């Protein structure tokens, strides 16, 4: 969308993942959109640092530390790079 990048993920993503996407995006104005209220079947997706805490979201997550955060952010950044070529 012109000079705005919109990255999205159909899961309940921790805010820190969206902040990382915004920080690393090569597009000056970037927006990260995720969903809430359990509509995705992936459950919560914590950022890597959150796995050190025993919270409901971490304990109920289907994700392993070190994978989801980078896969989401790097995947979106790859899509932006492809779209800019």
Q: How far is 70 from 78, CA to CA, in rounded Å?
A: 12
Which candidate, 17, 60, 66, 19, places its Cα nearest to that of 42?
60
Is pLDDT at 37 greater than 90 in this prediction? Answer: no
pTM of the model: 0.87
pLDDT class of 41 with cuts at 50, 70, 90? confident
pLDDT, mean over the chain: 89
Note the pLDDT of residue 73.
97
The C-alpha atoms of residue 63 and residue 50 are separated, in whole angstroms, by 12
Q: Kind and range of the H or E element at 8?
A: strand 4-9
Nearest Cα residue to 44 out of 59, 66, 65: 59
């Amino acid at each position: 969308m012109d000079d705005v990048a919109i990255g999205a993920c159909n899961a309940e993503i921790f805010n820190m993942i969206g902040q990382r996407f915004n920080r690393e995006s090569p597009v000056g104005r970037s927006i990260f959109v995720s969903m809430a209220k359990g509509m995705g079947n992936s459950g919560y997706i914590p950022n890597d640092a959150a796995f050190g805490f025993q919270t409901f979201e971490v304990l109920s997550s289907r994700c392993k530390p070190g994978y989801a955060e980078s896969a989401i952010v790097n995947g979106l950044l790859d899509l932006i790079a492809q779209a800019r070529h």
